[in-house]
């Protein structure tokens, strides 16, 4: 595990790193990353980055975690970034190494996660000649990065790294790529690391327009049925405390999107749950009947709005707060646009916010929450996945960092695990990347060695990243790995049942490996449960075991996620399933 450097040694290290020595590009890279307070890099070596890896040899200050696949490296860096708010860093070689990062870059870009992605390239003299393991990674990733650099002069490398961290972590956060040709990584030059950054044309708007904030506050004071739609921007701007205070003062019910979960405490009387395709009845009903909608750091994803022209039809005014001006009005027209950092907007609003006329509305919302909670048909003979998630929540008291892969288990976790804190739920929202869950948990555990990290996976997604079990065993990374095994591509099966009239096509995962034996083959303890009693015993054993443990929960194949809104429907047209 990572050993934290003391403050005194950090100061001494910084002084040593800033010495104007004549060093190689590789040594510049390592120094620059340390100066950016990077305490772990996730990567996989290859020919074009061998000078960089050679510079790591014998460097006691630089921490690197060798994953078993480049995609595992970038998802781990992503999990590190989401759980800390710091910039995650990964390294891969040129060609296939770089292209194996593409899905992870797109994942981070869609969810606004700050990453600095470092790739090697062939020597500058052969760029464009189809040299061995050459790929135009800057061109390939242009649509899915905030910015990218191809370093042609070693003197530019420190400045580029400084700029990359600044771009990744400011405004709407996101991934920045630095492509370093092999010869540049070996060239020498005096090292100088800039103290500040000034990039022409890049000055994100952080402070909001006061007049727009005042307009929002006037709308709140006049509103009788207000709703706040809180998204991932609340978490990313570290504005959870301000949102809680704002809600308490304004008296407005809150629904949190998938990426917003944890940004507002789930135990609060005004929290309505998650909205959208698999959202709670109370949240969807409130959105459809509100007279004022305030979207805070949410981008009106199609899984939230569903049929856009039927979304929030009674909202006389829609406020949209976002640091990215391109998002405002892109999908849902905002009558009160407010560009700025969520934390800054809420801080300004808190100085004079007055409560809405919402007490009757709150009473109605709370009655809906009590009368129409999430429900499922429990069983004494079959293990239900919802029960597993409820059990994990109960035993961890909502205090764990939980990552998920993508599919039914992701939605069940979002529904039945109640999050107390921001940055405690890690999931691929916008891109829906299978294979994300387990590696992202590794990154989070490296960042938080003293916290419980639980990775919830399906049997499909687990097979896209199972090789990373090796690094948990070798490095004693104590992630608790959950596999919800229904022997099928569950969400695809559900859609084929409900939308495609039971025409099941290529979803059978019955030939999957024995996950317990697979874990043991990598040196990780494996456990299995097929009923409630076994589930409780296996999970208790996992929690009591130091180090990584994989627990396979064998659940009913035909279980569906409800509520569900089918495409083309409005969010109040919910299929309630077992509880209908």
- Of 152, 145, 87, nearest in space to 121 by CA: 152
Q: What is the CATH number of the domain that holds 182?
A: 3.40.50.970
Is 70 among the residues known to form the active site?
A: yes
Note the pLDDT tens digit of each residue in 393-435.
999 999 999 999 999 999 999 999 999 999 999 999 999 999 9
Same domain, 180 and 312: no
Would you state the pLDDT for residue 578?
65
* Domain boundary pick from 317, 339, 372: 372
Q: Which of 277, 491, 564, 574 is catalytic?
A: 491
Query: What's the CA gap between 484 and 480, in Å, rounded?
Result: 13
Task: Tell me, yes or no, whether 359 and 495 share the same domain.
Answer: no
Task: Give a yes or no: residue 572 inside a domain.
Answer: no
Question: Considering the domain boundaries, does residue 379 fall inside one?
Answer: no
The pair of structure tokens assigned to 381 is 């003979």
392 to 123, 385, 417, 457, 481: CA distances (angstroms)? 51, 11, 8, 13, 12
Residue 94 lies in a domain: yes
Contacts of 367 (CB under 8 A, 6+ apart): none
Looking at the structure, tell me whether residues 554 and 454 fall in a common domain.
yes
Active site residue 216: no
222 and 170 together in one domain? no
182 and 233, same domain (yes or no): no
**Could you tell me the CATH number of the domain that includes residue 294?**
3.40.50.1220
CA 518 to chain centre: 27
Task: Name the residue among 115, 563, 172 with its Cα closest to residue 330.
Answer: 172
Spatial neighbors of 189 by CB under 8 A, at least 6 apart, are 22, 23, 25, 28, 154, 155
Q: What is the pLDDT of residue 5?
A: 47
Residues 177 and 31 in one domain: yes
Which residue(s) pair with 87 in the sheet? Answer: none
Q: Look at residue 7 in the predicted model and tell me its pLDDT.
A: 53
Residue reference for tokens 């998002």: 327
Number of domains in the chain: 3
Q: What is the largest CA-CA distance in the chain?
A: 72
Q: 309 and 442: one domain?
A: no
Do 16 and 148 have their domain in common? Answer: yes
Q: Residue 157 belongs to what domain range?
A: 10-191
Q: Last residue of some domain: 372, 394, 417? A: 372
Strand partners, 179: 119, 150
What's the pLDDT score for residue 462? 97
Q: Tens of pLDDT along 286-299?
A: 999 999 999 999 99
User: Is residue 568 in some structural domain?
Assistant: no
- Domain match, 138 and 268 both: no
What number of H helices and E strands is found in the chain? 23, 19
Residue 533 annotated in active site: no
Q: Which residues of the chain have pLDDT under 50?
A: 1-5, 580
Catalytic site includes residue 576: no
Which listed residue (86, 133, 249, 534) is catalytic? 133
* Among 28, 62, 63, 70, the one annotated catalytic: 70
119 lies in some domain: yes
pTM of the model: 0.96
Q: Considering 63, 146, 162, 182, which one is annotated as catalytic?
A: 182
Nearest to 294 by CA among 361, 368, 220: 220
Q: Evaluate whether 477 touches 442 at the Cβ level (below 8 Å).
A: yes
Does residue 579 sit within a domain? no
What is the average pLDDT value for the chain, to the nearest integer? 96
Asked if 491 is an active-site residue, the reply is yes
Q: Are residue 227 and residue 171 in the same domain, yes or no?
A: no
163 falls within a domain: yes
CB 210 within 8 A of CB 278: no
Residues 246 and 174 in one domain: no
23 and 159 together in one domain:
yes
């Amino acid at each position: 595990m990572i050993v934290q450097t003391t403050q005194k040694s950090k100061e001494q290290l910084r002084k040593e790193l800033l010495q104007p020595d004549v060093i190689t590009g590789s040594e510049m890279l390592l120094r620059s990353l340390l100066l950016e307070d990077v305490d772990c890099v996730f990567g996989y070596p290859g020919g074009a980055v061998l000078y960089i890896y050679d510079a790591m040899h014998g460097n006691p200050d630089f921490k690197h975690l060798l994953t078993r696949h480049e995609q595992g490296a970038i998802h781990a860096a992503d999990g590190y970034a989401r759980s800390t708010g710091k910039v995650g860093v990964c390294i891969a070689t040129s060609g296939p190494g770089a292209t194996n990062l593409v899905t992870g870059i797109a994942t981070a870009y869609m969810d606004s996660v700050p990453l600095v992605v470092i790739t090697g390239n062939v020597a500058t003299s052969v760029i464009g000649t189809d040299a061995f393991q050459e790929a135009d990674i800057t061109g390939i990733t242009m649509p899915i990065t905030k910015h990218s650099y191809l370093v042609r002069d070693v003197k530019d490398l420190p400045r580029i790294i400084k700029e990359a961290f600044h771009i990744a972590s400011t405004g709407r956060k996101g991934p920045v790529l630095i492509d370093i040709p092999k010869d540049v990584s070996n060239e020498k030059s005096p090292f100088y690391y800039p103290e500040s950054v000034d990039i022409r044309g890049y000055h994100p708007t952080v402070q909001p327009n006061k007049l727009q904030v005042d307009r929002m506050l006037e709308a709140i004071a006049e509103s009788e049925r207000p709703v706040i739609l809180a998204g991932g921007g609340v978490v990313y701007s570290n504005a959870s405390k301000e949102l809680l205070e704002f809600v308490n003062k304004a008296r407005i019910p809150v629904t949190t999107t998938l990426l917003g979960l944890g940004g507002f405490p789930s135990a609060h009387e005004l929290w309505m749950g998650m909205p959208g395709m698999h959202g709670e009845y109370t949240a969807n009903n409130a959105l459809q009947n509100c007279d004022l909608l305030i979207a805070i750091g949410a981008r009106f994803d199609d899984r939230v709005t569903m049929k856009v022209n039927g979304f929030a039809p009674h909202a006389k005014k829609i406020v949209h707060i976002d640091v990215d001006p391109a998002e405002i009005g892109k999908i849902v027209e905002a009558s009160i646009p407010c560009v700025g950092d969520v934390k800054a907007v809420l801080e300004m609003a808190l100085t004079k916010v007055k409560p809405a006329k919402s007490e009757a509305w709150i009473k109605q919302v709370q009655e809906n929450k009590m009368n129409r909670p999430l429900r499922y048909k429990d069983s004494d003979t079959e293990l239900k996945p919802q029960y597993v998630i409820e059990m994990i929540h109960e035993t961890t008291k909502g205090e764990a960092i939980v990552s998920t892969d993508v599919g039914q288990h992701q939605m069940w976790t979002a529904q039945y695990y109640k999050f107390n804190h921001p940055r405690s739920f890690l999931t691929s929202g916008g891109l829906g990347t299978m294979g994300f869950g387990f590696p992202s948990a590794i990154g989070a555990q490296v960042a938080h060695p003293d916290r419980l990290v639980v990775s919830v996976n399906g049997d499909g997604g687990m097979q896209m990243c199972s090789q990373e079990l090796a690094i948990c065993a070798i490095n004693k990374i104590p992630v608790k790995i959950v596999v919800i095994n229904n022997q099928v591509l569950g969400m695809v099966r559900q859609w084929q049942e409900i939308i495609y009239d039971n025409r099941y096509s290529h979803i059978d995962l019955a030939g999957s490996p024995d996950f317990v034996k697979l874990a043991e083959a990598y040196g990780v303890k494996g456990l299995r449960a097929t009923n409630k009693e076994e589930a409780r015993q296996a999970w208790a054993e996992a929690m009591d075991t130091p180090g990584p443990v994989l627990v396979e929960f064998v659940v009913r194949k035909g279980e569906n996620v409800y509520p569900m809104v089918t495409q083309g429907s409005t969010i109040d047209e919910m299929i309630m399933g077992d509880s209908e």
